Amino acid sequence: MPDNSTDSPLTDLRGLTLQELTDFIVELGEPGFRARQIFSWLYRPGISSFSAMTNLSLAFRARLENIARISCLRVDKREEAGDGTVKYAFKLADNAIIESVLIPDNDRHTLCVSSQAGCAMGCAFCLTGSMGLRRSLTAAEIVNQVIHARNELEAGGKDRINNLVFMGMGEPLANYDNLRRALDILIDDHGLDFSQRRITVSTCGIVPKIEQLGAETRVNLAISLHAADNETRSRLLPINQTYDIAALLKACRAYPLPKRRRIMIEYVLLAGINDSPGDARQLIKILHKLRCKINLLPCNETETLPFKRPERAVVEKFQQILQEAGYTAIIRESRGAEISAACGQLAGKNS
Ligand code: SF4
């Protein structure tokens, strides 16, 4: 039976960075190198108990069983779209539902990870935002989404997860400490061994945390921009009333980018709201000299939100204006819309 309880008195070792695990092990009076041994077991496929950790003594394994645990996530529902996109709904110990989406692209796989159950940011076009925030996820709950999808891929004889994007439910930078802890585990070569180049954190624009992320990591940054003027952006993304476009783009320009890497600008196209040629020209103006590429996301219509998808010709005209100004602008058709797995559609409906 998966152990996913958050109120257990046992310490969940899957939520600890290697340093935190070392502190825990040393406090038990054991040598620090034991922590590295345990850490590398914790992220191997199929490990759910200490009994499998054969390079630890039987007595130490028994001691760990009494004071610690290895959590994993319980799948509430698994849906697969015709294009191969898989949406997992996980039920947490407090019955909150979170969702992750595994998106195949030829032999590559991208996992879209959630950082919170719900979201407090209230972006007008987003179903997760309309739920409000239930709670932030623990580091273990973030990492366990990756472990579950990785295990399923490997059990099916498929390739590994190539890219991780923090674009699922929640605002990752509003759960910064646990995001950082999860990133440490994901990139540790004794943990899940992801390259930071393969991880993208998306934000609606919490400026001080963008600065902190840039100072502390080398992961990619994606910005949910979605409008080129403050009036429209404040209507669509309430965070803009605190950190306006100028403050946000200043933080983006200061974000330390390794050579050849660019910031990803996400722009959802909403008919009659932000999709005019004038909006495209204003976007060119504000993005001046920012090393970026632009993803244009024609809105995924839902029953509950009042936004419409622009005509294809409008989307292509918008793209053309950006391209003629020298920007890389790609029209992204969301995957998995029929199972409500597309951008802005994650709402934990089963809860
Ligand atoms: S778009 Fe992102 S930040 Fe905005 S409400 Fe949705 S999940 Fe939250």
Asked whether the beta carbons of 240 and 284 are under 8 A apart, the reply is no
Active site annotation includes 292: no
Residue 128 Cβ inside 6 Å of ligand 1? The answer reads: yes
Instruction: State whether the beta carbon of 126 lies less than 6 angstroms from ligand 1.
Output: yes
Q: Write down the catalytic residue from 99, 141, 171, 266.
A: 99
Distance CA 205, CA 220 (A): 14
Among protein residues, the one whose CA lies closest to atom 4 of ligand 1 = 123
- Amino acid letter, 244: D
Q: How far apart are CA 300 and CA 208, in angstroms?
A: 30
**Cα–ligand 1 centroid distance for 344 (angstroms):** 7
For residue 119, the ligand 1 atom closest to its alpha carbon is: 8
Å from CA of 30 to ligand 1 middle: 44
Pocket of ligand 1 contains residue 121 by CB under 6 Å? yes
pTM (2 d.p.): 0.94
Q: What is the pLDDT of residue 6?
A: 61
**How do residues 229-285 score in pLDDT, each as one tens digit?**
999 999 999 999 999 999 999 999 999 998 889 999 999 999 999 999 999 999 999
CA of 238 relative to ligand 1 center, distance in Å: 10
pLDDT of residue 3: 47
User: Residue 43: what residue type?
Assistant: Y
Distances (CA, A) of 240 to 21, 53, 96, 259: 39, 49, 28, 29
Residue 266 beta carbon below 6 angstroms from any ligand 1 atom: no
- Residue 237 tokens read as 């993304």
> Which strand ranges, in their side-by-side order, compose the sheet holding 86-91?
74-80, 86-91, 97-105, 108-112, 163-166, 199-203, 220-224, 263-269, 292-298, 328-331
Q: Could you identify the atom of ligand 1 that is nearest to the CA of residue 127?
A: 6
Local mean pLDDT, 10-residue blocks, the chain (351 residues):
62 95 96 95 90 94 96 95 93 95 90 96 90 95 96 84 96 97 96 95 97 97 97 97 98 94 96 98 97 94 89 98 97 72 59 37
Spatial CB neighbours of 288, under 8 Å, sequence gap ≥ 6: none
SS3 261: coil
Q: What is the pLDDT of residue 2?
A: 42
3-class secondary-structure state, position 334: coil
171 lines ligand 1 (CB under 6 A): yes
**Which tokens is 194 given?**
């992801």
The dihedral region occupied by 86, where left means phi > 0, alpha psi between -120 and 50, and beta the remainder, is: beta
Could you tell me whether strands 86-91 and 74-80 are parallel, antiparallel, or unpaired per DSSP bridges? antiparallel
pLDDT tens digits along 191-201: 999 999 999 99
- Residue pair 115/99 in contact (Cβ under 8 Å)? The answer is no
Residue 79 annotated to the active site: no
Kindly give the distance from the C-alpha atom of residue 129 to the centroid of ligand 1, in angstroms, as a whole number. Answer: 5
Question: Which residues fall within 8 angstroms of residue 76, CB to CB, at 6 or more apart?
Answer: 89, 90, 91, 97, 350
Which runs of consecutive H residues, i.e. helices, occur in the chain?
A: 18-27, 33-42, 58-67, 127-131, 139-155, 176-187, 207-216, 230-236, 245-254, 277-286, 312-324
Q: What mean pLDDT value characterizes the chain?
A: 92
Q: What domains are defined for the chain?
A: 11-69 (1.10.150.530), 74-339 (3.20.20.70)
100, 114 contact by CB (below 8 A) = yes
Pocket test for ligand 1, best of 119, 203, 343 (most atoms within 8 A of CB): 119
Amino acid at 329: A
Angstrom distance (rounded) from CA 215 to CA 209:
10
Ligand 1, atom 7, lies closest to the CA of 170
Q: Are 204 and 123 in contact (CB under 8 A)?
A: yes
